[in-house]
Structure 1
Amino acid sequence: MILKDKILTTSNSAKIQAGQKQELDVAFYLRRAFKDHPQVFVFNDLKFKHNDETAQIDHLIVYTYGFILIESKSITGEVTINEHQEWSRSYRGNWQGMPSPIKQVELQLAVLKSLLRANAPLLLPKIFGKLQQGFGGREWQSVCAISSNAIINRDHTPKATQERLVKSEFIADKLLQMMKLPASTPNALHFLSTNVRPWFNEESLGKICQFILEKNISLSSQNHSNATTQINELKPPYQQVVTHTEPVIEAQTEPEVTLSKEIVLTCKQCNSSASLQPRSGRYGYFVTCGICEANTPMKAPCPQCSNAHTKASKRKDSYSLVCGNCDETVPIRF
């Protein structure tokens, strides 16, 4: 599933234009391979800050067992890597050194890992309701995708580097080889296997992807809006009800007049809207289902601007969703 697309910037720089084309090429192959994959979530063009460090990731793959970062590199000519993992490339017959994209992507991965580990209590469940899970055992990998028209001199390239260097058109094959995904999503029966790989369940994957979108420093709210909708479609804990003065309109057409908006909560476990009891806890307000006893947070993107930075508020016996971006206040009904 594609959760974030590449945001193009206008530039007269030939270098920037070439870099953007390379990222778009990689994004194209990722979309072709994983747009409908239930265990793979693709983010293109991410930027976030953590502990005074800024990470800029060309492509991020979040999948059942972990994370893969992809560094896109536009190279015209020949590229070679020596035994010290030092990179050189030729341009019009002249050789010059260049920064290692493998080292660059490793630095971005370290920031992402630190960010997610610091927020593990928000993203991962507790074992037996007591022991907080962490990101230990999950897979953290990285790879570099270079231009299809580049010539890779692999004669003296260290094997470890060769395995992480791929041309754009082979990126999907390489990722599938790295991920080793099973035919179906893992479940509790996988613990009986002799080769257990810690995995993220559906709820955790949804929280992690939503968290990454919220942390992204984006120039476009439209990409964020589309991605938020896709995440919630995995297992929606709520429904947005909008009453219009206009007759029924086709999908993807914006209503001209909106009379009222509200958030209608349903249980994330059984999708029931009956017997929901409001509660409050460490991470805010939520409801408990009287049928299956599951807890569902009072959390949803803003219906007005689609921003995910919202929170539930209470006034007497009424609850509302307040947007931190546009200050829109929407009633919550259950």
Structure 2
Amino acid sequence: MIVKELEPQAYPNSFRRAGHEAERQMAHYLKRAFGDDRYKFVLNNLRVEREGEVAQLDHLVVHRHGLIVVESKSVAGQISVNEQGEWTRWWKGQGRGMASPILQARRQLDLLVRLLSDHTEELLDRGVFGLRQRRFDTMRRDVLVAISDGGRITRKGTLAEVVKADQVPDRVREIVGAAGGFGAFAFSDAELTRLTAFLRTRHQPLAAPTAATDDISGVHGPQEESVPAVVSTPGLATPGQVRTAQERQSQACPTPDLGCRTCGSAELTVLYGKYGHYLKCRACGGNTPAKPICPTCGQPGRLHKAGREFTAQCSGGHSWPYFTNPSDT
């Protein structure tokens, strides 16, 4: 399922355009493979911030057992990787060292996991009969580096993280297939719904690209050192912030796709108990915590009841419809 599409960009620089084309190619392969898969969620060009640090992820795949970051690299020539994991890019017969995109992707993923861990109680249910809080640090985390179809790779030894772009969907399926088993970490349906909504609302788009010159290296893609800074005046929102706020306000806030964490059924009733509101499954009798996440700002919300209608409201002042109880309750 595609949670966040890749936004079209008009880069004035040919090398930046090549990098964006590699991301567009990868987004196409992921959409073809997982567009109708309700247990694999794809977010393209996700940019999140935590305590002044930024993680820019070309593609993120959220699956039942964890996260996979896919780093897209446009290669006009050849890349070689030696036994020590050192990368060299070749252009017109000349080699030049480059930073490892595997390590780059891992750093982005580590920052993302720290952000999610800050919101553990909002996003994850309690396990072991509600006595222990589940944590993100036990989930599976993987990275893949996708080399564009026209590029060539020379590698020494096994380097499972580096694949051609068209091979990524199969590698994703292999990773997910190997991640299961007895005792393995697994998101519930409700947790997947909250997590993907949280990530979508946490996206902080960058300002429009400039005509800054890129290094002519034969390998193109998002370079951290070439990202233009967004300068803001204290007390004033940047144009990008204003535009993002307007877009969020203009979007309808849909009722979340809720399901029983035990059997996945949507036959639910909202009830109030010792620990607050929860969802009672009419199919299996199981209980699921009601933890609404604001689709506008990503903050947790509180439920308010009016007859059979339940509305959620966050501390930021946003309200959205959450659930309507069946008429026989």
TM-score (norm 1): 0.69
Percentage identity across paired residues of the two chains = 25
**Residues 269, 294 of structure 1: 8 Å contact kept:** no
Distance, in Å, in 2 between the alignment partners of 1:42 and 1:110 is: 18
Q: Which runs of 5+ in 1 are unaligned?
A: 187-192, 237-267
**Residues 125, 289 of structure 2: 8 Å contact kept:** no
Equivalent AA in structure 2 for residue 138 of structure 1 = M
Question: Who is 1:132 aligned against?
Answer: 133
CA offsets, 1:265-315, max 9 Å, x none? Answer: xxx86334xxx556796xxx746659758466484767xxx6655844869
1:204: how far off?
1.5
2:186 corresponds to 1:199 = yes
**Residues 144, 166 of structure 1: 8 Å contact kept:** yes
CA offsets, 1:20-54, max 9 Å, x none? Answer: 10001001000111111122111111111123321
Distance, in Å, in 1 between the alignment partners of 2:291 and 2:68 is: 31
**Residues 268, 279 of structure 2: 8 Å contact kept:** no
Within-5 A mapping of 1:291-330: 294=287, 297=290, 299=292, 311-312=301-302, 321-322=312-313
Distance, in Å, in 1 between the alignment partners of 2:259 and 2:140 is: 25
Distance, in Å, in 2 between the alignment partners of 1:115 and 1:310 is: 15
Equivalent AA in structure 1 for residue 139 of structure 2 = R
Within-5 A mapping of 1:8-23: 8-23=8-23
Give the 3 Å change call, closer, same or farther, for CA 125–311 of structure 1 in structure 2: closer
Distance, in Å, in 1 between the alignment partners of 2:94 and 2:76 is: 12
Distance, in Å, in 1 between the alignment partners of 2:137 and 2:105 is: 20
Give the 3 Å change call, closer, same or farther, for CA 312–132 of structure 1 in structure 2: closer
Q: Which has the higher contact order (CA 8 A, sep 6+)?
A: 2
Give the 3 Å change call, closer, same or farther, for CA 144–225 of structure 1 in structure 2: farther
SS in 1 for 2:75: coil
2:170 corresponds to 1:173 = yes
1:79: how far off?
0.8
**Residues 30, 42 of structure 1: 8 Å contact kept:** yes
1:8: how far off?
2.4
CA offsets, 1:107-154, max 9 Å, x none? Answer: 111111222223222222112111111124321110100111111112
Q: Which runs of 5+ in 2 are unaligned?
A: 207-243
1:319: how far off?
7.8
CA offsets, 1:214-260, max 9 Å, x none? Answer: 222146647x969x85x934649xxxxxxxxxxxxxxxxxxxxxxxx
Distance, in Å, in 2 between the alignment partners of 1:120 and 1:309 is: 12
TM-score (norm 2): 0.70
Give the 3 Å change call, closer, same or farther, for CA 80–287 of structure 1 in structure 2: closer
Question: Who is 1:83 aligned against?
Answer: 83
Give the 3 Å change call, closer, same or farther, for CA 7–300 of structure 1 in structure 2: same
SS in 1 for 2:138: coil
Distance, in Å, in 2 between the alignment partners of 1:205 and 1:298 is: 12
Distance, in Å, in 1 between the alignment partners of 2:177 and 2:56 is: 26
- Alignment coverage as a number of residue pairs: 277
**Residues 310, 321 of structure 1: 8 Å contact kept:** no
Q: Which moved more, 1:6-15 or 1:22-31?
A: 6-15
Distance, in Å, in 1 between the alignment partners of 2:281 and 2:149 is: 57
